[in-house]
């Protein structure tokens, strides 16, 4: 199964919920980030037939797709912006600078605060709100504050030289503090009300305005009462607009928690300078003698004892065991005060809920990862889930330079550090069946001596012949009980003791896709090894005819360089150290 088949299969498991998605390459480096109202439908669209070179390039480099759930597409847009600036993915051409999402700046520290659009939230005494997506929402919000709160958006000095108000006053978009048409006290009251509106505290603001309206009415100040009444009606009309929160330069971690049966999922959002920049997650065993409070307490102790950076605030889904002692440990590690908080309402509670949902999602991802393994266990009648699967393949050219390879998958993922390659020693003619028997015997001779890992399943490339050859090798080693199967390429039939005549699985079967991937990895690894052997052999034959290059010097060159081209490019000083000055001069002269 090729790489794009794998990633497309992963798409089918994505939820139909809003969030951000990450395309990652084989080194798990993020190469593209996007947002979606439905993760499944959006990511699925990348796999439709297209001539778009950018999409084709993204898919060509993608080996894994990951995601984070959010409450809405709008929230996803903000997270997308943060993560793009953090990771700088190569295929995200926009959003890499600070010009994508604007903020609103309320200069609350001034005598007569103004409201302005800005691209950056600075470290000053102003209040910042946003970011806004799309950008015209920011301008609409400024218009609301101008029209209904009378907040200015000009840069006029107060007091200044102006004797008449500008056009904004005439069209009811300013209360004209520059010419004294409103007192400082009343203007600041309106600025505070505007701040409450921007922070989404509409219910509280309505209560304040209603009280002021009644008081103004009792004092027979009907103009003021009418202003408050109209503002309350306006707020009722626009209360369903997305709530905005003020931007604070906060550094905090938000922990999400979920538990299913004997497993616990913990999800950590790392917020720095008011922006979520990273996430981490872990699945831990929930032992019978431990409760949820104890598990999260132990996690916090371990996590922050090794963390390179501890924030000023840690938001928790519930209070852990021994909180005072835990707090002391974390503060000693940071050498500063740290607030451990369990929010019950407001923005922080919403952040905890978001982290909790992503923690619960960890189990769904684990189920997806285990699905092919569980299917193989059931289909093949295995005693255990095949966590470790080892795949074998042979490569040769007309029987010459035969080599074998072993790929290893642990928990459905390749473990390349355990891959092995074999030079076929006992056979000189074309014989894939005999070659399989040799490498199976050599690999599991170590297992029979209690050396090396014992697999949960062995996969050989081929049909009945390869299966029988592998069985013979295992029988000699008294390891015949090791689960074994062969996968034939053309019909994709599975041969094993349970299915001696072959089993055909549906092409969309997760188990079959996993076996194909293991087989293809072994095949790729064998071909690569075989190609390098041919190149070395070709290099060796060219070295045979060069004066001064005897068996020892030839062996030194072959162990150090893969090809004649590499030798040609090698620095003279490097060659001198390897084979001596005269031989190096003669070698390069002959190869010109």
| 205-250 pLDDT tens trace | 788 888 888 888 888 888 778 877 877 777 765 554 444 444 556 7
Round to whole Å and give the CA distance between 227 and 149: 9
* Of the candidate ranges 214-218, 388-392, 406-410, the one whose mean pLDDT is the lowest: 214-218
Q: What local confidence, expressed as pLDDT, does residue 289 receive?
A: 56
In percent, the amount of the chain with pLDDT more than 90 equals 16
Query: What's the whole-number average pLDDT of the chain?
Result: 81
- pLDDT of residue 197 exceeding 50, the answer is yes
- pLDDT of residue 367 exceeding 70, the answer is no
For the 3-87 domain, the top CATH level (class) is: alpha beta
Q: What local confidence, expressed as pLDDT, does residue 241 receive?
A: 46
CATH fold, domain 544-591, is DNA polymerase; domain 1 (1.10.150)
pLDDT, mean of residues 378-395: 91
pLDDT, mean of residues 563-567: 74
Distance of CA 208 to the CA centre of its chain: 45
- Going edge to edge, which strands form the sheet with 103-106? 115-118, 103-106, 127-129, 246-247
- Own/partner pairs for 323-328, CB < 8 Å, 24+ apart? 323/297, 326/297, 326/300, 326/301
- pLDDT of residue 527 exceeding 60, the answer is yes
| Domain extent listing, the chain | 3-87, 103-246, 251-363, 388-520, 544-591
* Of the candidate ranges 110-124, 402-416, 502-516, the one whose mean pLDDT is the lowest: 110-124
Contact of 116 with 110, CB cutoff 8 Å = no
User: Which distant-in-sequence residues (6+ apart) come within 8 Å of 356 by Cβ?
Assistant: 256, 257, 258, 267, 317
- Categorise residue 28: left if φ over 0, alpha if ψ from -120 to 50, beta otherwise: left
- pLDDT of residue 485 exceeding 60, the answer is yes
Domain 251-363 sits in which CATH superfamily?
Answer: Ribonuclease H-like superfamily/Ribonuclease H (3.30.420.10)
> Does this model's pTM top 0.85?
no
Quick one: tokens of 62?
């993608």
Q: What local confidence, expressed as pLDDT, does residue 478 receive?
A: 93
Same fold flag, 3-87 and 544-591: no
* Of the candidate ranges 231-240, 246-255, 469-478, 548-557, the one whose mean pLDDT is the lowest: 231-240
- pLDDT of residue 532 exceeding 50, the answer is yes
Query: For residues 2 and 197, which has the higher predicted lDDT (pLDDT)?
Result: 197
* 139-161: pLDDT as tens digits: 888 888 888 788 999 988 887 77
* 96-137: pLDDT as tens digits: 444 556 788 899 889 899 999 887 777 778 888 776 766 677
Sorting pLDDT into bands at 50, 70 and 90, what band is 409?
Answer: very high
CA of 442: how far to CAs of 16, 322, 399, 422, 473, in Å? 49, 54, 20, 9, 9
Instruction: Just give the CATH number of 388-520.
Output: 3.30.420.340
């Amino acid at each position: 199964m090729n790489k794009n088949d794998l990633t497309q299969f992963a798409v089918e498991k994505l939820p139909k919920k809003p969030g951000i998605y990450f395309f990652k390459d084989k080194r798990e480096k993020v190469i593209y980030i996007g947002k979606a109202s439905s993760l499944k439908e959006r990511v699925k669209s990348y796999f439709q037939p297209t001539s778009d070179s950018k999409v084709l390039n993204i898919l060509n480099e993608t080996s894994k797709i990951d995601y984070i759930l959010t409450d809405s597409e709008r929230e996803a847009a903000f997270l997308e912006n943060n993560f793009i600036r953090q990771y700088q993915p190569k295929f995200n051409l926009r959003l890499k600078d600070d010009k994508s999402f604007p903020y609103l700046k309320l200069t609350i520290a001034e005598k007569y605060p103004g409201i302005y659009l800005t691209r950056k939230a600075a470290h000053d005494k102003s209040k910042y709100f946003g970011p806004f997506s799309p950008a015209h929402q920011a301008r609409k919000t400024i218009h609301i504050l101008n029209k209904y709160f009378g907040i200015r958006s000009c840069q006029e000095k107060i007091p200044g030289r102006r004797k008449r108000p500008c056009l904004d006053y005439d069209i009811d978009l300013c209360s004209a503090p520059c010419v004294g048409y409103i007192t400082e006290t009343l203007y600041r009251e309106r600025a505070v009300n505007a701040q409450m509106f921007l922070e989404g505290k509409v219910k509280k603001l309505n209560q304040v305005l209603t009280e002021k309206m009644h008081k103004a009415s009792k004092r027979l100040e009907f103009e003021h009462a009418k202003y408050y009444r109209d503002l309350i009606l306006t707020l009722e009309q626009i209360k369903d607009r997305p709530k905005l929160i003020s931007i604070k330069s906060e550094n905090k971690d938000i922990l999400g928690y979920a538990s299913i049966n004997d497993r616990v999922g913990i999800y950590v959002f790392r917020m720095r300078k008011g922006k979520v920049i990273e996430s981490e997650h872990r699945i831990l065993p929930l032992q019978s003698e431990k409760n949820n409070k104890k598990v999260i307490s132990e996690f916090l102790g371990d996590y922050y004892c090794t963390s390179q950076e501890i924030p000023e605030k840690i938001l928790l889904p519930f209070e852990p065991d021994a909180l005072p002692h835990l707090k002391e440990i974390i503060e000693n590690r940071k050498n500063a005060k740290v607030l451990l908080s369990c929010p019950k309402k407001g923005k922080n509670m919403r952040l905890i809920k978001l982290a909790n949902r992503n923690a619960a999602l960890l189990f769904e991802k684990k189920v997806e990862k285990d699905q092919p393994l569980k299917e193989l266990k059931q289909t093949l009648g295995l005693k255990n889930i095949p966590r470790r699967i080892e795949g074998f393949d042979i490569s040769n050219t007309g029987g010459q330079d035969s080599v074998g390879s072993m790929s290893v998958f642990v928990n459905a993922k390749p473990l390349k550090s355990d891959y092995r390659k074999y030079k076929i020693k006992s056979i000189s003619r074309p014989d894939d069946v005999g070659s399989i028997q040799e490498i199976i015997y050599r690999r599991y001779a170590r297992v029979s001596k209690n050396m090396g890992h014992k697999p949960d399943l062995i996969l050989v490339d081929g049909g009945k012949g390869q299966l029988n050859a592998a069985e013979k090798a295992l029988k000699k080693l008294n390891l015949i009980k090791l689960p074994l199967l062969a996968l034939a390429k053309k019909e994709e039939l599975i041969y094993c003791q349970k299915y001696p005549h072959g089993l055909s699985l549906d092409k969309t079967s997760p188990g079959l896709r996993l076996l194909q991937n293991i087989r293809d990895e072994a095949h790729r690894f064998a071909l690569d090894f075989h190609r390098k052997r041919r190149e070395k052999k070709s290099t060796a034959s060219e070295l045979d005819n060069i004066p001064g290059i005897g068996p020892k010097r030839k062996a030194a060159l072959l162990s150090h360089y893969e090809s004649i081209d590499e030798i040609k490019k090698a620095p003279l000083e490097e060659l001198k150290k390897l084979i001596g000055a005269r031989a190096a001069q003669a070698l390069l002269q002959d190869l010109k």
